Copies of this chain bind each other. A is one copy, B any other.
Amino acid sequence: MKKIITISREYGAGGHSIGKKVAEILGVPFYDRDIVRETVKASGFDPELIENESEEISRSDSLWKNLASFSGAYYKDTQSAIRDVQAAVILRFAQEGPCVILGRCADEVLREADIDSVNVFIHADDVHRAMRLSALTGSTDATELKKMMEKKDAARHNYYQRYTGKKWGDSHNYHLTLDSGALGDEACVRLIVAAAQDAE
């Protein structure tokens, strides 16, 4: 049974709660922002810098280029260094045993290290995502909800593209992709658990 599962997800598609439930059912650890905190502990980098690096700093190419041009080689090297430490943390988690890892290009980190995993991408249409985010944030402002989704999706898209050279959300990069809006969260949980149990 391949019980290392990586989950990439669109903002508001429920990837966090789906991943958490999968981990509970399989009885394995669930890693999300913990990875960042682990990275901080392991690396000695400035915690604030690492928090920023994660997704926000790579939000847009123009922002990235501006930062790079202002700060010269410093940011570039720091980014690479942070990425290496983050990958090391992900690999340590994977080597400790079965688990569910959310985001952070964990799929690519494990693929490069030739460690078997079931790589999942969860997406949903804008209406399902907006309703979920509205319930989470309390906002009922459609324009604000749309902006939240666009901003976070662009950040994740760029982060994945920068670190893997591949297209975030392209089915070829995952073993399983799921539309949580059409299928529902519970079905997604069941399908991921089934895929993990099916995989040799």
Q: Which residues of A contact B (CB under 8 A)?
A: 118, 121, 123, 169-172, 174-179, 182-184, 186-187, 190-191, 194-195, 198-200
Contact = CB atoms under 8 A, between A and B. Distances in A.
A2 B197 CA distance: 24
Contacts of A169: 170-172
Contact of A172 (B123, B183, B200): B123
A179 B119 CA distance: 10
A1 B5 CA distance: 28
Number of copies: 2
Majority SS of interface residues in chain A? mixed
B191 A183 contact: no
Contact of A123 (B121, B171, B182, B186): B171
Contacts of A199: 182-184, 187
A183 B169 CA distance: 18
